[in-house]
Amino acid sequence: MAFSIGPTVATMQASTSTNPLVRKAEAFVSLHEGARIAMEVISGPVTDIAAHSDLVREGDKPRGVLMILNGMAYRYKKRTGGARQITAYLVPGDMGDLDVALLERMDHGIATFSACKVAWIKPETLSGIRQSHPVIDRALRIGTLVDEAILQEWIMNIGCRSAIERLAHLFCELLMRLQVVGRAFGNSYALPVSQAELADTTGLSNVHVNRSLQELRRRGLIRLSGKVLTVFDFPALKALAEFRPGYLHLAK
Amino acid sequence: MAFSIGPTVATMQASTSTNPLVRKAEAFVSLHEGARIAMEVISGPVTDIAAHSDLVREGDKPRGVLMILNGMAYRYKKRTGGARQITAYLVPGDMGDLDVALLERMDHGIATFSACKVAWIKPETLSGIRQSHPVIDRALRIGTLVDEAILQEWIMNIGCRSAIERLAHLFCELLMRLQVVGRAFGNSYALPVSQAELADTTGLSNVHVNRSLQELRRRGLIRLSGKVLTVFDFPALKALAEFRPGYLHLAK
DNA sequence: CGTTGCGTTGAGAGGCTTCAACCTAGGTGG
DNA sequence: CCACCTAGGTTGAAGCCTCTCAACGCAACG
């Protein structure tokens, strides 16, 4: 056991675990004690990864399934000219594709924004746990569907929202996703992402991201400084972005 | 049995079936006779759907798993203002999300471009076949991964390609996907999609789609008339779009 | 033969990009 | 301890890619 995550099993309470995998699963299903323990266990040996390093490179043969326990990472694709598109943010509790071992090679890369704690889980281990705990299996399947729903929402975001709306929508989505796993504090959360990286996320230039952020600040909606984002007026931010969180499929 | 698809089992040959589900699966795995027969069977009772009608509405409780056997359909999301973003094209052999029954309500709609033949398969039926035919299970899982990879590629497309490149990339992708399921004829295929719908797909205005299509024609790369798209110069079209088909994970 | 949906064209405007310079803070080495 | 260096944030100016608005043509259809 390389690292200990959160309190001991004995002190855990339903939906207040500090293990992000458990927190996320409990947003979709209700876990009984045995399943919670099993989820703690699969978070087994943890690896520390520095900020701005590759976890997976495009063209790699997939290894095990990736789980993010702490920090923030992202999926990306590159154009030959050097342009980069970030296609997903991975926050604590998120997993790489469950069936990724079925593919010959990765069609995209995964890298870290911040220093991260991650776990690589062997496909056999995972399928064993899924078989013995149907409720975990169910939570993981729902998680996969939500990942897909987020991709669709991002297509919508880039395809038909203005610059300021795209950023507002991203910030709303991250706030909700991080609240679920206990990584938001009030309406604030760590956002270790540079403006250039926000640009690669939203399909904008870094210059225009900068100006749009200023506009969001000027309107009193957010503050973003020192890698911490604070949402001052969530209702207004949601209205601006037309953020409807249904696609995240979080239980009420 | 509401409708008969393709030749009888006796006349089928490997990878020349006219059943698009079989064709697509054989792009990922090699099916033995029994598995091919099972796939023919799940294509069971077929429903005819008119063009431009909804198969699934946002907010619906999901019913069974959708399979497209003929025609072309699309996933979409709407903004309150009326703007629409098309997030995926469904071509013969494509299926809706396998686990969609786990969700309370749909976060997007599905509608037809053209008249379609579709099948609704009960989740129990599907999981039965997946259990008794691991190779089919494997093919379906890979198919799901490819669906996700396509979503990522579309984010890339809208996020960092120019108008003409976006259209070129879409046409390249569709050519390859339709070739796999035997719905392309040489470098031509049916594309029952209006310019306004192409605009909702690519995040452009219909006016600009029109002008970009003219430019593609002027360069001698494609022809698009009467709902048929012909690619005159696939290498040049690929080069223009920087189309790298790896994300479709088709066997060589 | 009017209606309707779709493709086409023109003109003007604007959101966003590009290029380039400058500023600031944090880290590093002499 | 300061001087330098670098990454990232900020600002200005110019331009263009794409949008909006509006009109028109054309073919299919009842």
Q: Are strands A65-70 and A116-121 parallel, antiparallel or unpaired?
A: antiparallel
Distance from chain centroid for Cα A39:
18
Residues of B in contact with A151 (CB under 8 A): 148, 151-152, 155
Residue that the structure tokens 């470098």 belong to: B187
For B141-181, the pLDDT digits (tens) are 999 999 999 999 999 999 999 999 999 999 999 999 999 99
CB contact under 8 A, A156 and B75: no
For A6-38, the pLDDT digits (tens) are 444 444 444 578 899 999 999 999 998 888 988
Residues in B 189-208 whose C-beta is less than 7 A from nucleic strand C are: 194-196, 206-207
| pLDDT at position B135 over 80 | yes
Distance from chain centroid for Cα B76:
13
A179 touches chain B (CB under 8 A): no
- Please give the DSSP secondary-structure letter assigned to residue A114: S
Say how far B37 CA is from D28 C1', in Å.
43
- By the 10 Å C-beta count (0-12 exposed, 13-18 middle, 19+ buried), A114 is classed as middle
Contact B140, A139 (CB under 8 A): no
CA distance B129 to A31: 29
Kindly state the helix (H) or strand (E) to which residue A35 belongs, with its residue range.
helix A33-42
pLDDT reported for residue B226: 82
For A220-231, the pLDDT digits (tens) are 999 998 899 999
Closest CA to B183 of B14, B19, B3: B19
Please give the structure tokens belonging to residue A139: 């939570």
Strand C lies under 7 A from the Cβ of residue A163: yes
For A64-85, the pLDDT digits (tens) are 899 999 999 999 999 998 899 9
